[in-house]
Structure 1
Amino acid sequence: MAASDLLQDDEQPHVEVNVTETNPPVPQRAANGSPASHSPMPPPPSDAHDGKNKLSSLFKENHLIHSLSNGLRRHCEYTKITVTQERVNRLPKEWWKTGVAFLYALFNLIFTTVVITIVHERVPDKSVSPPLPDKFFDYVDRVPWAFTVTEVNGLILVGLWLVQWLFLKHKAIVGRRCFFMIGTLYMYRCVTMYITTLPVPGKHMVCAPKLYNDSTGKIWRILRLLSGGGLSLTGSHMMCGDFLYSGHTVMLTLSYLFIKEYSPRWMWWYHWSCWVLSVSGVLFILIAHEHYSVDVIIAYFATTRIFWWYHTMANTHVLRQSPNNFLSRTWWNRIFNFLEKNVQTTVPVVFEWPVTLPSCCRQRYRMVEGGRDE
C-alpha cells in the first residue's frame, strides 16, 4: 500500500493558520498637511527567519511520520509467526547404538573362545611338528616370567582406559567406536586362527589334552576361558592354536590408541607412560616365546589400520559424501554409517563426573568457584 493511500485514509489534520494582512503603512500627515517623514522598518533578522523555517519543516516531518504510523496500525494486519529454534545436537548420545556395538563385541569375544576350542583340537603335536623357525627366537632366548609382565601391562592399560572412558562427556560415542573395533578385530582373529593352524612356537608350551568328540567338556572349557578373561594369570587359558594373530597385542595397542586419542594433548607424560607400557608388553610377548613374530606384526597392523581408517572417516565429514573416498569401500562402511550417522562434528575431549552430584555438593562447589572468581 502506498504511503499516499495511507495518508488519504487518515484523518486530515486540522491546522489553524492565523494570517495577518499587513497593509502598507499610511503616511500620517503632520499638522501642516504634509506627510510626516518616517524611517523605514528594519527587516527582521535572518536568524529568526531561518529558525522559523526549521521549526516548520520539523513539524511537517513529525506530522508525516505520525500519519504514516497511524495508517500502518489501522490497515496492516500483523500475523504472529512462532519460530521454534531447535538447537541441533551435533553429538547425540544414542546409547542404544552403543548397546548394539557392545553386543557385537560380546558376540565376537564369545565366538573367539569357541574357535579357540575348535582349533585346539587341530594343533599338531610338538613331537610331530616342531616350532617354526623365527628370527627373533634365534637372537633372543626365552624368559619364563616375561609373559606375566605382558598381561600385567595389559590389565593396567585396560584399567586406565576404562577409568578415562567413564569420565568422558561423550562416552556413548567413544564407547561404540571402541566396541566396534574390538568386535571387528576379534572376528578377523577368528578367521585367521581357523583357516591356518600353526604349531606351537616353543617346546615349553603345555597344552591341555584334546577332547575330540566330548561336546560337554568343550563347553566347560569355553566357560572356563570366558570366566578367566582368556588370561594365563588366571589359569583359564590352557589351550593352544590361537597364535595367528596375537590377541594380547590387539588389546595393548588398542588401549593405548584410545587413551592417547581421547585425552588432552598437554598430558604428554601420561601418553608416554602408556606408550611404554604398550610397547614393553608387546616385546615381552616375543621374549616369552608365546607368539611368533608374524602374529605380533599382523596384530599391530590390523589394529592400527582399523583405528586410523575409522577415525579418519569419523573426523573428516567431507569424505562421507565424496565419490572418491576409497575408505568407503570397506565392508564395514554400512556399519560405520549406522554408528556415526548423526555425529556431525569431531568429538571433543571433555570430561565430566560419571554420576550426577547431589544438590548440596553442587551448591558447595558453586560457592567455592564463586569465591575463587572473586
Structure 2
Amino acid sequence: MAASELIRDEDEDVRIHMEADAVVAASPAAPPQPGRISNGNPVRPAPGGGGDEPDGSRRARLGGALQPNRLLRALSGGLRRRCEYVKIGAADERSERLPTEWWKTAVAFLYACFNLVFTTVVITVVHERVPDRSVSPPLPDKFFDYVERVPWAFTITEVNGLILVGLWTVQWLLLKHRSIIGRRCFFLIGTLYMYRCVTMYITTLPVPGKHMVCAPKLYNDSSGKIWRILRLISGGGLSLTGSHLMCGDFLYSGHTVMCTLSYLFIKEYSPRWMWWYHWFCWLLSASGVICILIGHEHYSIDVVVGYFVTTRLFWWYHTMANTPALRQAPNNYLSRTWWNPVFNFLERNVRTTVPITFSWPLPLPSSCRQRYRIVEGPRDE
C-alpha cells in the first residue's frame, strides 16, 4: 500500500512539472507569487492534495518551485557583472610596465661621469695643440662683425646655466619615475660630451678673440696636466670658479649643450599647464646661448652645432622611447644608430610613455603615511 502511494505521488509530481512547462511555454506572463507569511517563506499547500487542485493553487506551487531558479540566475548575473566591474586599474598596469631598475640608472650615471672626466682629459690634450694667436689669428665670424664683445655676457651664460641645472635637478627629484627619466638624462649627457670629445680632438680651432687668456702649455709635464684635470673637474669647468683657463674646447660649445638640454628635459617632464614655467626656462636658455656669442667666447659654428646635436639627439631618443611599436618596425631607420643597442638595454622594460607624475622623494613619517592612505584609499561604491 505504501509503495503504491509513493508511485502515485511521483507520477503526480512528474505530471505537475510537465503541465508547468506547458503553461510557461503558452503564457509568457510571470506566474502569480505565492502567499507569504511574516517570515517571508511561501505558503505551502496542505498535504494530501490531489491532482484535482485548482489552477491558481497549481500555479502558486509552480512559482514556489521556480523561485530558487530565478534567485540563482539573479545571483549569478550579479556576480558576473561584478566580476566585469572589478578589474585591475590602468595605473596598476602602467606601473607594471614602468619598472624602476635603479641599477640601469647607476650604469647610465657612470657612463655620463666617465665621458665628463674624459672631456677634461681631451681639453688638456687639445690645449697643447692650440696655435699661437700671433701665428693663427681668430677666424672670421659674421656675428662678431656686427656685435661688439660685452665682457660680462659670458657670466650671464654660466649663471643661467646653473639656474637651469638646479631647476631640473629639483624637478627630477620630485618626479615619480625619476629612475627612468634619470637614466635618459645621464645617457644623453654622456653621449653629447663624447661627441664633443671627438669634434674637439679632430679639429682644433684658434681662439675666437684676443681677449682670451690661456694657461701656458706644459708639453711633457704629465703631473702638471693631471693637476689641471683635477682642477677643471673640481670647478665644474666654469669660468666663475676660475677652473677653466685652457683653450681649444671650442667645437662645439658645452655651455650650449647644458642650457639647451636642461630646458628640453624641463619642458618634456613638466605639465603643459605650467606654460609660464616653460617660458621662463626658455628665456634663461635662449639668453644664455646668445650671451655666449655676445661675450665672444665661442664661434657661431660652435653654438649652432651644439644646439643642433643636442636637440636632434634628444628628439630621436624620445621618439623611439615614446613609440614602443617603432622599436620593432622593420623600416625604422632610427634603429640604425650606433647607440640603438644601448637604448634597447635602457628601455627594454619601459613599454609605455612615462607619465608626468610627482611624488615626494623622501619617506614620510608614519602619521603622514597613515593620513595619505586614508585620503588615497579606494572609494566605496
Q: 2:280 aligns with which of 273, 276, 298?
A: 273
Per the alignment, in what secondary structure is the counterpart of residue 230 of structure 2? helix
Q: How does 1:183-202 map to 2 (within 5 A)?
A: 183-202=190-209
Mark the CA change 1:176 to 1:359 in structure 2 (over 3 Å): closer, same or farther: same
Q: 1:116 aligns with which of 107, 113, 123?
A: 123
CA distance in 1, matches of 2:142, 2:204: 20
CA distance in 2, matches of 1:201, 1:328: 38
Corresponding residue for 1:289?
296
Per the alignment, in what secondary structure is the counterpart of residue 175 of structure 1? helix
Corresponding residue for 2:96?
89
Superposed CA offset, 1:215-246 (max 9, x none):
00000000000000000000000000000000
Question: Is 1:51 aligned to 2:56, yes or no?
Answer: yes
Mark the CA change 1:53 to 1:258 in structure 2 (over 3 Å): closer, same or farther: same
Question: Is 1:217 aligned to 2:217, yes or no?
Answer: no
Mark the CA change 1:51 to 1:256 in structure 2 (over 3 Å): closer, same or farther: same
Superposed CA offset, 1:117-148 (max 9, x none):
00000000001000000000000000000000
Alignment RMSD: 2.6
Corresponding residue for 2:80?
none
Counterpart of 1:213, as a letter, is N
Corresponding residue for 1:140?
147
Counterpart of 1:17, as a letter, is D
Corresponding residue for 2:160?
153
Question: Any stretches of 5+ residues in structure 2 without a counterpart?
Answer: 12-51, 70-87
Question: Is 1:302 aligned to 2:314, yes or no?
Answer: no
Per the alignment, in what secondary structure is the counterpart of residue 17 of structure 1? helix
Q: How many residues align?
A: 311
Q: 2:107 aligns with which of 76, 83, 100?
A: 100
Question: Any stretches of 5+ residues in structure 1 without a counterpart?
Answer: 1-12, 20-46, 66-84
Per the alignment, in what secondary structure is the counterpart of residue 352 of structure 1? coil
CA distance in 2, matches of 1:316, 1:352: 25
Offset at residue 55 of structure 1 (A): 5.0
Offset at residue 51 of structure 1 (A): 2.3
Offset at residue 15 of structure 1 (A): 6.1
CA distance in 1, matches of 2:152, 2:63: 99
Per the alignment, in what secondary structure is the counterpart of residue 258 of structure 1? helix
Offset at residue 362 of structure 1 (A): 3.4
Structure that is richer in helix per residue: 2
Offset at residue 49 of structure 1 (A): 3.6
Counterpart of 1:305, as a letter, is R
Per the alignment, in what secondary structure is the counterpart of residue 9 of structure 2? coil
Q: What percent of counterpart residues are identical? A: 77
> Could you tell me the TM-score, scaled by structure 1's length?
0.78
Superposed CA offset, 1:3-29 (max 9, x none):
xxxxxxxxxx9565399xxxxxxxxxx
CA distance in 2, matches of 1:305, 1:189: 15
Instruction: Name which of structure 1's ranges 360-369 and 175-184 shifts more when overlaid on structure 2.
Output: 360-369
Question: Is 1:17 aligned to 2:9, yes or no?
Answer: yes
Counterpart of 1:145, as a letter, is W
Question: Is 1:253 aligned to 2:245, yes or no?
Answer: no
